[in-house]
Amino acid sequence: MPFRLTYGVDAIIPVKIGEPSPRLLLGGIEEVVEKDLVDEAREMAHLSETALKQRMALPYNAKVLKREFEQDDLVLRRNDIGAPTPGEGKLTANWEGPYRMKEVIGKDTYKLERLDGKEIPRTWNSSNLRRFYS
Distance between CA atoms of residues 115 and 100, nearest Å: 6
* 52 pLDDT more than 80: yes
CA angle at 100 for the pair 95 and 104, rounded to the nearest 5°: 105
**Could you read off the pLDDT of 62-121 as tens digits, one per residue?**
888 778 888 888 999 988 776 666 667 777 888 888 999 999 898 889 999 999 999 988
Predicted local confidence at residue 111, as pLDDT: 93
In 10 A of CB 129, how many CB atoms?
A: 22
Distance between CA atoms of residues 81 and 94, nearest Å: 10
Domain ranges of the chain: 2-63, 74-131
**Could you read off the pLDDT of 11-46 as tens digits, one per residue?**
776 555 566 666 666 665 666 666 777 888 889 999
Predicted local confidence at residue 20, as pLDDT: 61
* Domain 74-131 top-level CATH class: mainly beta
| 1: DSSP letter | -
| 80: DSSP letter | T
**Neighbour-count burial of 120, counting CB atoms closer than 10 A to its CB (0-12 exposed, 13-18 middle, 19+ buried):** middle
Predicted local confidence at residue 39, as pLDDT: 81
CA angle at 30 for the pair 27 and 36, rounded to the nearest 5°: 140
Predicted local confidence at residue 113, as pLDDT: 94
**pTM value > 0.75:** no
